[in-house]
Structure 1
């Protein structure tokens, strides 16, 4: 019998750790332990989901445990790259919450560490990897349902939830800026669906329109991209109204030469459920319930850790998403 992959979590400051850990367990991995600095407001929710997983005395205790093969990172964004380097130097593979890094220097250090250690540094782009509708869209695109993909239009609205946000959420240096942070999801989807291996940022904007008392917060951002496989437009914001029954009406439109797919991932007002997929081409005009399409990323990552392959996401893809998001952030701030 194959020994299950054992993983640990270092940093639970963002709620994305809930899905990261749960999906690794669902894929067959064993949650061996966790450590975080202090007691972030995510801790109560974390303990309710994983009550039997022990808290280690230190992060080093987890990094020194030879039975642990993978480390999940969801601490304060500015700290994730440093912990990733420590984990890889300790012989662990890494799955980081986004953003995986917040500065160009961090990205270069991560590149060098991967090259030196041969470890996997991956990022859980949850708006792709934890959304069954995206799984089904990828299958349809691969089947040729909309012809050649030439553009993606991704929007990532979020609810501010001010009362639950820690101080670092309002600190530009801590979270990296809105394009480095949440727009990385849409950059990932642009590269994936257009098949682009090279891309340039042609327009980028950040602003704070609704929260002047928090100058470190950027509550609006947009990006235009031109890649060797297609085009992309991205809009992200912190304006989700309270009446919406979820945190954001995230959508993705994939335009092909023979049709289009629209994903209404988390909500579609007037319709129940999640993972709504609309497919329109020469022979079909359908609304599809894609909620049962599955989340293959986590099992593929486990196989990559075992076989030293890149079936879940290539290493260069992870680097490229970070590079483009950092370029966009710098371009937008230079124009302010």
Structure 2
């Protein structure tokens, strides 16, 4: 029995720290990292990727690498406004694509990606890492599908972040200029709340939904009005409701970059996830609390397996979309971009 050739992937765009998780997840799943290229090779994240992977080819031209023969999969964490064009070029060159969130920054870009997927039969996956890379969220999904809390009727997702988080700076001294330009990063709802919108659809089993209301604001950073430091979204599907709040206000006293929380309300119980920190409690992250008809429970999620990256590699080989159904990814980004586009603007935000 012959061993199948490894899936060969290239990283095109090295501007956000999420690229480290994407590359590591694919390598752990048996894929071969063959080349990298980026628009700004002097960026702190790009330099760090080269340091971590010194034996991988560094190509001069990201546009050439995106369409190069012999590559099965292109992964990108470019500046968000570049992710859509990179994806379209790679798809039309016969590659599958895995993009950091947001996978694109406008509805027009999304339409181009959808057409490229339809025309080529390749897939476009967006790495919603707050689900795909968080063990307690995967465990909560298992509990929901087992019926432990009845029918899910609402999700409440909180996504606070910290501007100066060292892990996201890649040893750089500060955030790059594009971080303060909402036309480039897509705005706070597209950029961050796409995580929570993904989780709303997934936990409630909703195929589609509507944006009831959305707001963006800048209340703490008036000197950089392009940075939207607050956002909220109210969602509704045929069977469930969802509320999302995201911000850039995490204080220095918290020992991690944000107290990410997700609450899932069912007709017979509820689940709360403290993804990254348990305030004044247990060490580490991935804390899951379950309340059902029998009592209150704390569940250790440390041994939960993360299926996303192994499924991606399988999807490339078998022409499936088990890691994330294609229509789910499209709908998540459609809702995020619609909420961003139609948001009420408050404070110093521009």
- The two structures have a TM-score, normalised by structure 1, of 0.97
Q: Which residue of 2 aligns with 1:3?
A: 5
Correspondence 1:1-336 to 2 at 5 A:
1-38=3-40, 39-161=42-164, 163-270=173-280, 271-333=282-344
1:247-286 deviation line (CA, Å, top 9, x unaligned): 1000100111111111100111122111000011012411
Distance 2:284 2:295 in 1: 22
Q: How big is the shift at 1:287?
A: 1.1
Q: How big is the shift at 1:333?
A: 4.1
Distance 1:257 1:83 in 2: 43
Partners of 2:308 and 2:323 within 8 A in 1: yes
Q: How big is the shift at 1:215?
A: 1.0
1:111-147 deviation line (CA, Å, top 9, x unaligned): 1111111110010000000101111111111111111
Change (3 A) 1:212 1:289: same
Distance 1:161 1:30 in 2: 32
Deviates more, 1:50-59 or 1:252-261: 50-59
Q: How big is the shift at 1:63?
A: 3.4
How many aligned residue pairs are there? 336
Partners of 2:11 and 2:75 within 8 A in 1: yes
Q: CA RMSD in A?
A: 1.4
Partners of 1:41 and 1:164 within 8 A in 2: no
Distance 2:84 2:181 in 1: 17
Gap regions ≥5 residues in structure 1: none
Distance 2:68 2:105 in 1: 28
Distance 1:334 1:157 in 2: 19
Change (3 A) 1:326 1:64: closer
Distance 2:217 2:330 in 1: 26
Partners of 2:216 and 2:346 within 8 A in 1: no
Partners of 1:100 and 1:322 within 8 A in 2: yes
Distance 2:19 2:315 in 1: 21
Distance 1:297 1:228 in 2: 27
Partners of 2:74 and 2:97 within 8 A in 1: yes
Partners of 2:187 and 2:228 within 8 A in 1: yes
Q: How big is the shift at 1:332?
A: 1.0
- The two structures have a TM-score, normalised by structure 2, of 0.93
Q: Which residue of 1 aligns with 2:168?
A: none
SS at match of 1:91: coil
Distance 2:87 2:239 in 1: 31
Deviates more, 1:70-79 or 1:266-275: 266-275
